[in-house]
Structure 1
Amino acid sequence: GGPDLEPLTKMTKQMGIDHSVFLAGPQPSGTIADYYRSADAFISASLSETQGMTFIEALASGLPLFARRDEVLQDLLIDQETGWYFTDEEDLCEKLAGFVQISPERMETMKERCLAIVKPYSSVTFGKRVEEVYLRTIEDYRHQYRIDSIRIKDTLVQLYLISNQDEEIRLYVSMDDFYEMGMQKDGTLTSRQIEELRVREEAALAYQKCIRRLAVKDRTCKEIYDFLTKETGCAINVINSIVDRLEEQGFLDDERLCIHQIEFMKKAGYGHDKIVRNLKKRGIPYEMIESSLSTRMDDERENAQKYARRIQQTHRHDSVRKTRDYIRSAMIRQGFSSDLASDVVEHMDFSENQLREDDNLRHCIQKATRRLAHQYSGKELKDRVFRSCVSQGFRYEDINAAMNETEWYDEENQRF
C-alpha cells in the first residue's frame, strides 16, 4: 500500500472485502521472494507508475504480468506469452477473468517462457558482462597507440601512430571523427578504436575522391554512385551514406545540374528530345527533367528556328528541296519533335535559295559530269548525270532544261 497503506486498509473493511484482500505493507527484503512464489500472477494496476525492477523479479519467479503498455516492458511482456497488456479497468477485469480459466498446462508453459525471457538480467549474465568490460579495458590498455603527428589533407586528417610495442601505422580519419573523438598530438587511441576507424577509413578516402572529382566537373548522384561502385571497395550502404552526405552538403544537386544543363543545351541548339535523352543517360529522373523543361517551353520554337537558319546557311549550294529535307532531318536528330521541325521548315524563307537554284543546278551538272566522265560517255553519261541531279533534289523539268543547254557527245564524238 506504500504511503496509502492505512487508508486502503480502511477501504477494504468498509467494502467488506478485507477477508480476501490483504495489504502486506513493508516487508524485509529476505521475505520478498516468498511473496512472489505464493502468487499466481503479478498485476500492476497503475496507469501512471512504472516499476521496471519488480517486473523482472516477478518474471524471474515465473509469474505472468498484467500491465499497461510501456517502453520499459517492450522486451519483457510478450502479449499472451509472458502476460497481458490492458488499457483500462474494464479491460483489466476481462483479462483477469480469462486468466483464471487457463489450464495448468498453459500456466506451466507461460512460467517457462517467463523464466527464459529474464535470463539476460540474471546475476550470472550481469557478472559476465562486467567481466567482459574489464577484460576489454585491460586489452585496450595493452594495445594503446600514441598519436605521434597530425597532418591535415583537404577534408581528411592523416595520423601517424606508435603503439606500446613501437609498431608504427598511418591512418586517415575524417574531420568529424577527429574532432568528435577529441584527437590531439600525444593523445592515445586503443586498438579497438583503431579497428573501428580502419573500417571508416575507406569511406573517408572515397569521400575525398568524390570531392576532388566534383571540383573538376558537376556530377549527378548516379554518376557518383557508379564511380564509387567501380573505383572503390565500399559496401552499398557506405556508398549510399556518402552520396547522402554529399547531397546534404550541397556538393550534389541533381535539380540544379538539370536546370544548368538544360540552359546550356538549349543555347547549343539542342531540342527537347535530345535534352531528355542526354539527361536521362546521366541518371537524372525523367519527372525532374520534364518539370524543368516545362518552365522553359517558350524557348523551344525560338531555338528550333535559330538552329534551322544556321543549317540553312551551310547548304547554300544545294537544291531547295534537299536543303528543306536536310534541315528537317537535322532538327529531328538534334532532338526537336517531328511536328515542330516540319512546322519550322514550312515557315522558313527560302527565297534566296530559290534565286540560286539555277546556278546550283548547273554546278551540280558540271560536278557530276566531271565525276562520271571517267567511267561513262554518250547517252549513258547523260542519263547518269540526270539521275545524280534528281537525287540532289532538283526538279525534272529544271534538270531537262539545264541539260539541254549543255552539248553532249556519243562514243564517236557525235553531238546528240
Structure 2
Amino acid sequence: MSALPLSGIKILDLTRVLAGPLSAQMLADLGAEVIKIERPGGGDDARAFGPPYLVDPEGKANNNNSFYLCANRNKKSVTINIATPEGQAIIRELAKSCDVMMENYKVGDLKRYRLDYESIKAINPGIIYCSVTGFGQTGPYAPRAGYDAIFQAMGGLMSVTGHIDGEPGAGPMKVGPSIVDYMTGMNSSIGILAALYHRKANGGEGQHIDVCLLDTVIASLSHYAQIYLVNGKTPPRRGTWGNGGMPAGAFRCTDGELMLVVGNDGQFARTCAVLGQPELASDPRFARNNDRVVHGKEIMAIFAGLFLKNKVSYWLQELEKAGVPCGPINDFEQMFADPHVRARGMEIKVDHPFEHALSLIRNPLTFSGTPINDYRAPPLLGADTKEVLATIGYEDAKQEALKEQGII
C-alpha cells in the first residue's frame, strides 16, 4: 500500500471557524502534516460556538464542541499568540519549512504582523499561501467580515431557496448547514492542490491563492445563475420541486413523505405505470419533459393525489423496481442507520482523550491505492505545542518562559 497522497507536505494553518479548517482537514486526511495555530487560552473561535460539548472525564467545562470537532481531525494544535512579536517570530520560523500556509484573517490584518504573503514569501519563496476571506482580497467589500448566512443572502442562494410563492411560509430561506463554508473549503483545497502541482511541474514557484465565500456561492448557483444570464430573470423559488426533470419533488404518502425525481420520458412512463395511471405518459400535456415543465403544477397536483393512496415503503419499493430515482426523506438518525450509509462507512470512530470511540464523519474520498484509513481525533487545545516547537529549536526552558508570558 502506498503512502497517502500528500505525505511529506507540511501545512501551517492559521484558519479559524469553518471554511479554512475544513480545507486544512481535507488535506490532513490526505496525508499532509497540518499544524493548527490557536490562541493560548481560547483557541479557535469555533470552540466557543456553543453546545453540545464532549463530556470531560473529570466533569470540567471544556472547549471540544461539535463545531470544532467536525473540522479539525488529523491536525496538530499549537498555541501561539500572534499579536506578540515573539509569537510572530515563531510563525515565521515555522513557515520556513512549510509547503503551504493558510489564513482567514480580514484583508490586511496579517500585514501589520509581517505574516502576510509578501513577508512569508521573502523567507520561503516556494510557499503556497492561501487566503480564505468573505469577500476576497480585492473589491470595495474586501475589508468586510462575514459568515456563511451573509453570503447565502448576498450571493443569491436565499432568493431561490424556500417555499413556492403563494404557499404558507413563502420567502427567502437559508440552507440549513453552513454550505457556503463547506464549498469554500473544497475550493481552497482544489486551489492548494493545483498550486502544489504547478510548483512541482514548473520549477518551484509558489503563489498566493485568493478564495472567498462570495465568489464560491455565486459560482455554486451554476444553472440557476445561468438562467438569469440567458434571459435576465431570476428563477422562482421551487420548494422541493426540481429544476430540470419533471415531475420532481417531495410527495406525501399515507405515513410520511418521499422524494422523487423523474429525469426523462422513459422514467416518467414507468412512474405513471407504478402509480396506476399509464395513460398519463401519452397525454400531450406531459408526453415530453419540456411539456411537463410547462405544465408542472398540473402534473405535480395529479401525482400528489396518487401518492396519497399508499405508504412510503410501498412506493419506494415499486419505484425502485421500475428504475425510477427516489428516496426517503431521512432525519440524521435514519440516515446514519441506513444500510448503504453504514456499508460506505460514513461514520468513523476515533480515540479521543475524552471518549474512547468518538464518532466523526469520514472523508468522502475513496482511493483504491492510497485509502484513508488512519483518522486521528481533533486535538485538545495546544496538545502538540511542545513537540512542534522543539522541531524549530525551542527547548523546554524557553518554552516554559514563553508560556509564562502568555506567548504560547
User: Aligning the two structures, in what range does the TM-score lie when normalised by the shorter sequence?
Assistant: under 0.3
Q: Which has the higher strand share?
A: 2
The structure where helix makes up a greater share of residues is 1
Query: Which has the higher relative contact order, 1 or 2, with Cα contacts under 8 A spaced 6 or more apart?
Result: 2
> What is the TM-score normalised by the length of structure 1?
0.17
TM-score normalised by structure 2 residue count: 0.17
